[in-house]
């Protein structure tokens, strides 16, 4: 083992795709390759990819199975060409950030090289799987595969304690290490004049309190709670002026705006659309005065840390993963998953504006973690994992054999779809908005390599 490690990072998504985990992997790659060690990212091919990075990227064959459902591609993790290229790189450690194809490929690579695997559990995948596959006969084999895949790794990390408990709830029985993600914003507010100009652009004067949400506009982010809370605040007779700004876009945006109109709060809301420029986004966070994020889905709440970096405190659900590390009434506000409670807290915020601003200052000083700090902590842990594995100490469930797990999972889904076709159409249509796509999924299995493997 050398002082500078050669690291293989794996994830099922990578630019041009953008999501929270892509942001994690790119930060790991950039910071490690900038001086800590060497990095290669292994990820599925994408037709629009242009890999002009300061580190290596190995693309392997991908299937369009999931692209039709949710915009992602499923990597084919048995690509001999990619595996040979990765095996020749002489890695010290493999770090997978997705428990599906990436971890399958990591396991195959480990068989070739005897290099330990770390798997970071970022997302409540059971929720995502059940949302994409609307019936137990389809999602059960996927979750079983997911747990088996994670259990096969030498060490499992989660981004929060709540993420770890979610992992346990779906059947994982091993240990895990909490390894928090960082924020790529520098600590400190954006230029004050830019924040003032942004507020002026949207007609927000100095007397108007600005509540803020940043992220994908999806119902499960707690947006209905926000709107219902705003409705109750507006109906309470509150005289102080306020606005609710939603920064982002998403599949549910049209429904969200329609609901805001339906309950009569659209006039209090501002929908800006997606903001991709990170410096511009810092201005939005700085212009806002209280960040609203009543989500029990998110496992880490990077947006909460981004807001803290800019001196903006957050309103969060008690017991949620996003609320970990937040002190109620000091660096944020914790609420029940109840619109009335949210409205009460918002009304208090309006009357104690200076105190809310002080909460933001506390959050900036106590909650913020830079990506440099987060990645260096992880990098130090790499050495520990390598040493443990060299001495025979690993969390790996050695009874888990890779064999045909991947294909049994695919077969389980397709068998489930065939059974699902027998359910009356009027019942199917109430289950999931992607049902028509699911019923046509057999048309996606045109990959000759897959057909050959099944034979």
Q: What pLDDT, on a 0 to 100 scale, did the predictor assign at position 297?
A: 84
- CA dist., res. 263 & res. 234, Å (int): 11
Q: Which residue has the higher pLDDT, 400 or 295?
A: 295
Q: What pLDDT, on a 0 to 100 scale, did the predictor assign at position 298?
A: 82
Of all helices (H) and strands (E), which one includes residue 240?
Answer: none
Cβ atoms of 109 and 8 closer than 8 Å: yes
Residue 281, pLDDT above cutoff 70: yes
Cβ atoms of 265 and 290 closer than 8 Å: no
Helix residue spans in 391-441 (DSSP H): 405-420, 425-428, 435-439
Q: What pLDDT, on a 0 to 100 scale, did the predictor assign at position 17?
A: 83
Residue 410, pLDDT above cutoff 70: no
Domain that holds residue 414: 6-182+374-454
Cβ atoms of 77 and 100 closer than 8 Å: no
* Co-location of 386 and 336 in the same domain: no
242-247 and 269-273: which strand pairing?
parallel
pLDDT, tens only, 27-66:
999 999 999 999 999 999 998 899 999 999 999 998 765 5
pLDDT, tens only, 151-172:
999 999 999 998 999 999 999 9
What number is the average pLDDT over the span 362-384?
96
Cβ atoms of 288 and 245 closer than 8 Å: yes
Cβ atoms of 324 and 296 closer than 8 Å: no
Looking up tokens 């707690």 gives: 222
* Co-location of 398 and 295 in the same domain: no
What number is the average pLDDT over the span 397-416?
55
Q: What pLDDT, on a 0 to 100 scale, did the predictor assign at position 344?
A: 98
Of 86-90, 307-311, 371-375, 408-412, where does mean pLDDT reach its minimum? 408-412
Band (267; pLDDT cuts 50, 70, 90): very high
* Co-location of 45 and 101 in the same domain: yes
Residue 427, pLDDT above cutoff 60: no
Q: What pLDDT, on a 0 to 100 scale, did the predictor assign at position 433?
A: 44
**Residue 1: inside a domain, yes or no?**
no
* Co-location of 157 and 197 in the same domain: no
Domains in the chain: how many in total? 2
Average predicted confidence (pLDDT) for the chain: 86
74-75 and 269-273: which strand pairing?
unpaired
* Co-location of 335 and 387 in the same domain: no
Q: What pLDDT, on a 0 to 100 scale, did the predictor assign at position 451?
A: 37
pLDDT, tens only, 382-394:
999 999 998 887 7
* Co-location of 381 and 348 in the same domain: no
- Cα 46 off chain centre by: 20
Q: Which residue has the higher pLDDT, 450 or 106?
A: 106
Alpha-carbon Rg for the chain, nearest whole angstrom, is 23
**Residue 187: inside a domain, yes or no?**
no
CATH number at residue 321: 3.40.50.2000
* Co-location of 197 and 175 in the same domain: no
**Residue 434: inside a domain, yes or no?**
yes
- CA dist., res. 80 & res. 90, Å (int): 16
**Residue 135: inside a domain, yes or no?**
yes
User: How many other CB atoms are there within 10 angstroms of residue 80's CB atom?
Assistant: 10
Band (395; pLDDT cuts 50, 70, 90): confident
Residue 25, pLDDT above cutoff 90: yes
Band (240; pLDDT cuts 50, 70, 90): very high
Q: What pLDDT, on a 0 to 100 scale, did the predictor assign at position 380?
A: 97
Last residue of a domain, one of 349, 368, 387: 368
Burial call 178-192: b when 16+ CB within 10 Å, e when fewer: ebbbbbbbeeebbee
Q: What pLDDT, on a 0 to 100 scale, did the predictor assign at position 276?
A: 84
Band (207; pLDDT cuts 50, 70, 90): very high
Looking up tokens 């009569």 gives: 264
Of 300-309, 320-329, 397-406, 439-448, where does mean pLDDT reach its minimum? 439-448
Last residue of a domain, one of 333, 351, 368: 368
């Amino acid at each position: 083992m050398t002082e500078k490690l050669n690291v293989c990072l794996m994830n099922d998504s990578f630019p041009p795709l953008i999501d929270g985990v892509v942001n994690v992997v790119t930060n790991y790659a950039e910071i490690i390759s900038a001086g800590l060690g060497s990095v290669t990212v292994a990820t599925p091919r994408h037709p629009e990819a242009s890999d002009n990075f300061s580190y290596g990227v190995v693309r392997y064959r991908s299937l369009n199975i999931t692209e039709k459902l949710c915009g992602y591609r499923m990597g084919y993790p048995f690509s001999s060409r990619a595996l040979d290229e990765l095996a020749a790189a002489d890695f010290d450690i493999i770090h997978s950030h997705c428990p599906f194809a990436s971890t399958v490929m990591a396991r195959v690579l480990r068989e070739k090289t005897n290099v330990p695997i770390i798997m970071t559990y970022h997302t409540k995948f059971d929720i995502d799987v059940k949302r994409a596959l609307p019936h137990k006969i389809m999602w059960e084999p996927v979750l079983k595969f997911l747990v088996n895949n994670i259990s096969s790794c030498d060490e499992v990390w989660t981004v929060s304690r709540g993420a770890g408990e979610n992992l346990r709830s779906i059947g994982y029985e091993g240990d895990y290490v909490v390894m928090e993600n960082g924020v790529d914003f520098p600590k400190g507010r954006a230029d004050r004049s830019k924040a003032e100009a942004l507020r002026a652009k949207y007609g927000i004067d100095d007397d108007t309190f600005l509540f803020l949400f940043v992220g994908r506009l999806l119902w499960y982010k707690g947006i209905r709670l926000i709107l219902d809370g705003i409705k109750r605040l507006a109906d309470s007779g509150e005289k102080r002026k306020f606005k609710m700004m939603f920064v982002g876009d998403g599949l549910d945006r049209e429904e969200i705006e329609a609901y805001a109109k339906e309950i009569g709060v659209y006039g209090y809301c501002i929908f800006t659309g997606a903001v991709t420029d990170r410096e511009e986004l810092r201005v939005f966070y700085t212009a806002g005065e209280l960040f609203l994020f009543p989500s029990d889905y998110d496992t880490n709440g990077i947006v909460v840390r981004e807001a803290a970096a800019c001196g903006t405190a957050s309103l969060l659900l008690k017991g949620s993963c996003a609320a970990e590390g937040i002190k109620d009434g000091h660096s944020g506000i914790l609420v029940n998953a109840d619109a009335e409670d949210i409205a009460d807290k918002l009304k208090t915020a309006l009357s104690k504006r200076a105190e809310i601003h002080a909460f933001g200052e506390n959050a900036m000083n106590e909650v913020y973690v830079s990506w440099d700090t987060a990645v260096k902590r992880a990098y130090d842990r790499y050495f520990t994992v390598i040493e443990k594995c060299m001495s025979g100490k690993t969390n790996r469930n050695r009874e888990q054999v890779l064999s045909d797990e991947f294909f049994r999972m695919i077969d389980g889904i397709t068998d489930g779809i065939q059974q699902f076709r027998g359910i009356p159409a009027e019942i199917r249509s109430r289950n999931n908005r992607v049902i028509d796509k699911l019923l046509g999924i057999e048309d996606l299995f045109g990959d000759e390599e897959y057909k050959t493997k099944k034979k």
